[in-house]
Amino acid sequence: MKNCQPSILPLIYPENSWPPLVNNAIHSVQLQTQSPLPYIATIAMSVIAETVQGLAYVQIPSGPICSLSVSVLAILDSGGGKSPVLKMLRKPVVDFEAEMQEIYKEKMQVYRTSEKIWKITDDEYAKALRRAITKGEDVVTVEERIVAHQKVKPEKPPYPVLTYANPTIEALVHGLAKNWPNAAVVSDEASGLINGRLAQGLALLNQLMDGARVSVERKGEPDPIIVPEPRLTCVLALQPGQLEKYFNRTGEDARDIGFLARTLICKPFVMPGSRNVSPVEPDPQFLDHFHDRVKALLKQSVGQDGLPITKKRAVVFCPEAAEAYVNLRQQIETGLMVGGYFANIKDFAEKAARHVAKLAAMLEIFVNDSYVIRTDMLWCAMSLINWHAEEFKRIFAKPDELAQPFQDANTLLPWLHHFMRGRTNRYLMKNDVLKHAPSSLRSKARLESALQVLVNQGQLGWNVLLQGKMHFLDLFPALPFDMYALQIAIEHYRFKKKSFVR
């Protein structure tokens, strides 16, 4: 895990860490939806988890086994394309679920016929037993037939539910136990979930996501509901205001219980007005390849009897990857020290290495059809999870726990954008900023430290002209360089400076 400081805005997303099969699909969806790439990639990760969670588990080196289920939470403003992205990436999951439900209908017809025949035979055995008892005849033979008949009682086929939208925790447990043990809770407007009854069972939800055996007693029911090996992925998206309301209402419950530590967060930065609305038709093969792989693996998770397979395969580490993984855990442990990278997100740190192991295992299966984690895939997973660790830190670390340059950057960034509107230009002269900045930042050293924080994250450009005599800032460094706008900014600054001197 990279040893870096928290950013005020998101780090540049490490899109190239994804293998081409996934990366191409992510970019295909982005071209069609114009949604933020980190959001699309996070949803793609959850779809891969849905796909492989019923097939395997990962064996941690010298540690426990972990399910391949994940939980993701995207914090995105309205209009960010939450629904279209989910619909496009989850299409093969939805189609597979629909196909399984059609097969279920056929099975139910066979089941009803078999059950009817079985009941008729059962009634006749009951009559034969009553006659034998009434007449004082030998009942042993009849009883043996009744016992044998009970053993062949037709079983109702489970209804394949792979997707839950807004379940209670009781309904979710019941569905995983009685219907299908591999499923996902999916909501692109998750405010109803986090403020509903599901949120009241976060501890139980944690167990389901961890793949732990769950036993729930119900009032009025003689036997508990048992889910021996649940596989549950959570795919949640909501607007920032809704999350804030949740924390205002519940305090730190979700973090204290460990739900957020188990969740990969993304809160992508969206620059209004920057989307390209021109019609785009990307090559369909990239998304088709992703869909085909999802469908193929989902079919592997179902046995010849049409039921979810019960024996899952173990994903293991090769020796080199195991050594690298142990080193990663040591880095995380070191980062827990006072002043360390993980010092103020210890809850996430406890799960960070497992997130890496899960993602590496998921990608090996999905991309390489392999059940051995190699070092190259481990590095990919580490890079991606590092980004999510940075997001967690950026969103949930308390401001007073941040080093001074990062607190200053948090103050400076909105001020710069406000100051930019007054100058009507994306380019600002650094000396002009130094002269007008908030009083706490009118020290050259302190201002430059705050600027460097933003530059390091790729959110601000800091350039030099005239052999180092003039420094200018670019508030939109991702946009193409605009010489005309820069010349106007320089002339405006020089004019203001001359007017001030006079």
Is the CB of residue 490 less than 8 Å from the CB of residue 429?
yes
Helix (H, G, I), strand (E, B) or coil at 160: coil
Counting residues of the chain whose pLDDT is more than 70, the rounded percentage is 91
Residue 6: which pLDDT band, with cuts at 50, 70 and 90? very low
Element (H, E) at 427: strand 427-429
Average pLDDT, the chain: 87
Residue 498: which pLDDT band, with cuts at 50, 70 and 90? low
> Which pLDDT does position 7 carry in this prediction?
47
> Which pLDDT does position 402 carry in this prediction?
66
Counting residues of the chain whose pLDDT is more than 90, the rounded percentage is 52
The correct CATH number of 404-501 out of 3.40.50.300, 1.10.10.10, 3.40.720.10, 1.10.760.10 is 1.10.10.10
Name which of 189-193, 310-314, 387-391, 494-498 the model is least confident about. Answer: 494-498
Q: What pLDDT, in 10s, does the model give residues 46-81?
A: 999 999 999 999 999 989 999 999 999 999 887 778
**Strand ranges across the sheet with 313-317:** 65-67, 56-59, 313-317, 372-373
What is the mean predicted confidence (pLDDT) over 221-241?
Answer: 89
In degrees, rounded to 5, the angle at the alpha carbon of residue 308 between the alpha carbons of residues 306 and 309 is 105
Q: How far apart are CA 496 and CA 479, in angstroms?
A: 27
Paired strand residues for 238? 75
> Which pLDDT does position 278 carry in this prediction?
62
Name which of 143-152, 268-277, 278-287, 445-454 the model is least confident about. Answer: 268-277
Element (H, E) at 334: helix 319-335
> Which pLDDT does position 140 carry in this prediction?
86
> Per-residue pLDDT for 318 more than 80?
yes
DSSP string, 209-248: HHT--EEE--TT-SS-EEESS-EEEEEEEE-HHHHHHHHH
> Which pLDDT does position 502 carry in this prediction?
40
> Which pLDDT does position 324 carry in this prediction?
96
Q: How far apart are CA 320 and CA 43, in angstroms?
A: 30
> Which pLDDT does position 399 carry in this prediction?
56
What is the mean predicted confidence (pLDDT) over 132-142?
Answer: 86
Q: How far apart are CA 29 and CA 39, in angstroms?
A: 11
> Which pLDDT does position 240 carry in this prediction?
83
Those residues whose C-beta lies under 8 Å from the C-beta of residue 484, and which sit 6 or more positions away, are: none
Alpha-carbon separation of residue 279 from 31, 61, 143, 270, 502 (angstroms) = 9, 49, 74, 20, 54
Residue with tokens 């103020």: 344
> Per-residue pLDDT for 246 more than 80?
no
| More confident: 23 or 132 | 23
DSSP string, 375-391: HHHHHHHHHHHHHHHHH
For the chain, the farthest-separated pair of C-alpha atoms sits apart, in whole angstroms, at 126
> Which pLDDT does position 424 carry in this prediction?
78
> Which pLDDT does position 500 carry in this prediction?
42
Residue 468: which pLDDT band, with cuts at 50, 70 and 90? low
Instruction: List the domain boundaries for the chain.
Output: 15-98+159-270+282-399, 99-151, 404-501
> Per-residue pLDDT for 275 more than 80?
no
Name which of 204-208, 240-244, 398-402 the model is least confident about. Answer: 398-402
Kindly report the three-state secondary structure assignment for every residue of 188-214. Answer: CCCHHHHCCHHHHHHHHHHHHHHCCCE
CATH top-level class for 15-98+159-270+282-399? alpha beta
Burial bucket for residue 343 (CB in 10 Å: 0-12, 13-18, 19+): middle
Same topology between domain 15-98+159-270+282-399 and domain 404-501 = no
> Which pLDDT does position 406 carry in this prediction?
82
Q: What share of the chain is helix, strand, coil (3-state, %, to 5)?
A: 55, 10, 30
Q: How far apart are CA 298 and CA 182, in angstroms?
A: 10
> Which pLDDT does position 279 carry in this prediction?
57
Q: How far apart are CA 415 and CA 411, in angstroms?
A: 7
Tell me the backbone φ, ψ of residue 351, rounded to 5 degrees. -110, -10
Residue 249: which pLDDT band, with cuts at 50, 70 and 90? confident
